[in-house]
Amino acid sequence: MWRVFFNEINHQAVVYFFLCSNFDSYKSVKCMKSSRNIPRIEYLKVKNYRALADLELKELTPLTVFLGPNGSGKSTLFDVFAFLSECFTIGVRKAWDKRGRFRELRTRNMSGSIEFTIKYRESSNLPLITYFLKISEENNNPVIEEEWLQWKRGSHGRPFKFLDFKRGKGGVITGELPDENDERITESLNNQETLAVNTLGQFSKHPRVSALREFISGWYLSYLSADNTRGIPEAGPQERLSETGDNLPNVIQYLKEQHPGRLIKILKTLVQRIPRLEKVEVKLMEDGRLLLQIKDAPFDQPILSKFASDGTLKMLAYLTILFDPNPPRLIGIEEPENQLHPRLLIELCEECRKASGETQLLVTTHSPFFVNGLKPNELWVLYRDERGFTQAKKASEMKGIPQFINEGSMLGDLWIRGFFEVGDPLVNSGAERIKSRLNAH
């Protein structure tokens, strides 16, 4: 056991942390470049899912942020990803029942099934793949009406479905690069509420199907709160922060033992955001539980995490997610501004952009401070139309916004000052409004 010292650039503080490794591990983290393929969702369409009667999002970026006032549909859109992930991990029925079944899930005053369309690339050298899922209900039971995977081979080919199922029956083309002329194998699933991708994706002979199954089931959706990070969990390293953050001490223990260089990087970044912070450590209690302790200057003794500031714990938790040595393929963060000082948000936004080189990040917010760190093509503004359904518009497609940004304006400031065409929290839940003010400028 030995001690690693960091002298802060601006002489703000010194970070002390006991690590079970050598300093070379930190240098390897700094120099490390990703060699893995990173799937990217480029397109999403949702029909009949709560307030999302017919929502279409095109050209999604590695960092995509959804902005809007309360009630605009941000949480519902966030829940689309949670619902799909749970369909693959705990099963369609449990995810369906958890949300109140068709009565609560289907858009009010609408008929028909719930539909999801996702277009994504497994890597930059593979074609765009479309995944379509259509769910209905019979006798209070979910039914997979239709499910298919489609892609196009070559620049002159036509799109074709290499997996195509309706109500538990269909066919699939096997192989690493399924072709339209390859043999299609007929399959029947056990029941009509089973996902074909989830079932067939367990077999190595369907690598493209397996890749989608692994992709969706590995999504990470965060619902962090500072209070949840204050617990005293049972000792034992854990690789990834839970969605609520209640295992933060376990993750710190894991990083300390397995990825000390990555932990140093997290703490160095944290002290830049919270200058008086000196030390973060985990302590094993006699009863086998873990204590997270935080030391501030100029005090000699650390305090328990239960007495630390909300902002310190929240920022530490977010950095633990963003600096994950093996990050999930997609990370969702809901309203990171809660419990953080506004001046920290633009820096957190920059950390999110850096992390998007290793994963895809989806963030919901209604903070202009966080939005100030974004580029126009990274920001979608949500609002309710006259029927009460959620719509979305990209900031880069709003009249005048690119010009304002080129002249040095910041997106969050433009939103608050009323220069966005949509999303004004004081105008009909952010709906489109008369653009006389925009035209005047």
pLDDT tens, residue by residue, 91-133: 999 999 999 999 899 998 888 999 999 999 998 888 999 999 9
Q: Tally Cβ neighbours within 10 Å of residue 324.
A: 22
Question: Both 106 and 212 in a single domain?
Answer: yes
Separation CA 93–CA 86 (nearest Å): 10
How high is the pLDDT of residue 36?
59
How high is the pLDDT of residue 407?
93
Question: Both 48 and 18 in a single domain?
Answer: no
Confirm whether 272 is domain-assigned: yes
How high is the pLDDT of residue 6?
36
Q: Which residue, of 169, 202, 220, is where some domain finishes? A: 220
Question: Both 132 and 162 in a single domain?
Answer: yes
Question: Both 148 and 104 in a single domain?
Answer: yes
Question: Both 199 and 75 in a single domain?
Answer: yes
Confirm whether 81 is domain-assigned: yes
Assess contact for 194 and 99: CB atoms under 8 A.
Answer: no
How high is the pLDDT of residue 305?
63
R_g of the chain computed on alpha carbons: 24
pLDDT in tens, 197-216: 999 999 999 999 999 999 99
Query: Hey, which residues does 148 pair with through a beta bridge?
Result: 132, 164
Q: Which residue, of 301, 327, 353, is where some domain finishes? A: 327
How high is the pLDDT of residue 21?
36
Burial (Cβ within 10 Å: 0-12, 13-18, ≥19) of residue 416? middle
Confirm whether 427 is domain-assigned: no
Question: Both 75 and 146 in a single domain?
Answer: yes
Predicted structure pTM score: 0.85
Question: Both 209 and 244 in a single domain?
Answer: no
The tally of domains found in the chain comes to 2
Residue 364 tokens read as 């919901």
User: What CATH number corresponds to the domain at position 75?
Assistant: 3.40.50
How high is the pLDDT of residue 339?
81
User: Both ends of the chain: CA-CA distance in Å?
Assistant: 63
Question: Both 169 and 256 in a single domain?
Answer: no
Confirm whether 214 is domain-assigned: yes
Could you tell me the residue range of the domain that residue 161 belongs to? 40-61+71-220
Confirm whether 348 is domain-assigned: no
How high is the pLDDT of residue 1?
38
Confirm whether 416 is domain-assigned: no
Question: Both 56 and 143 in a single domain?
Answer: yes
Q: Which residue, of 220, 238, 261, is where some domain finishes? A: 220
How high is the pLDDT of residue 433?
62
Confirm whether 387 is domain-assigned: no
Question: Both 259 and 116 in a single domain?
Answer: no
Give, for all 441 residues of the chain, the pLDDT tens digit: 333 333 333 333 333 333 333 333 333 333 334 445 889 999 999 999 999 999 999 999 999 999 988 889 999 999 999 999 999 999 999 999 999 999 899 998 888 999 999 999 998 888 999 999 999 999 989 999 999 999 988 777 789 999 999 999 999 999 999 988 899 999 999 899 999 999 999 999 999 999 999 999 999 999 888 888 888 888 889 999 999 999 999 999 999 999 999 988 998 888 888 777 767 777 777 777 877 777 766 666 665 666 677 888 888 899 999 999 999 999 999 999 988 888 889 999 999 999 999 999 999 999 999 999 999 999 999 999 888 899 999 999 999 999 999 999 999 999 999 899 887 776 766 777 644 444 444
Confirm whether 401 is domain-assigned: no
Q: Which of 239, 356, 259 is nearest to 26 (CA)?
A: 259
Question: Both 213 and 264 in a single domain?
Answer: no
Question: Both 91 and 175 in a single domain?
Answer: yes
- Measured CA to CA in angstroms, residue 256 lies from 62, 236, 260, 266 at distances of 29, 12, 5, 11
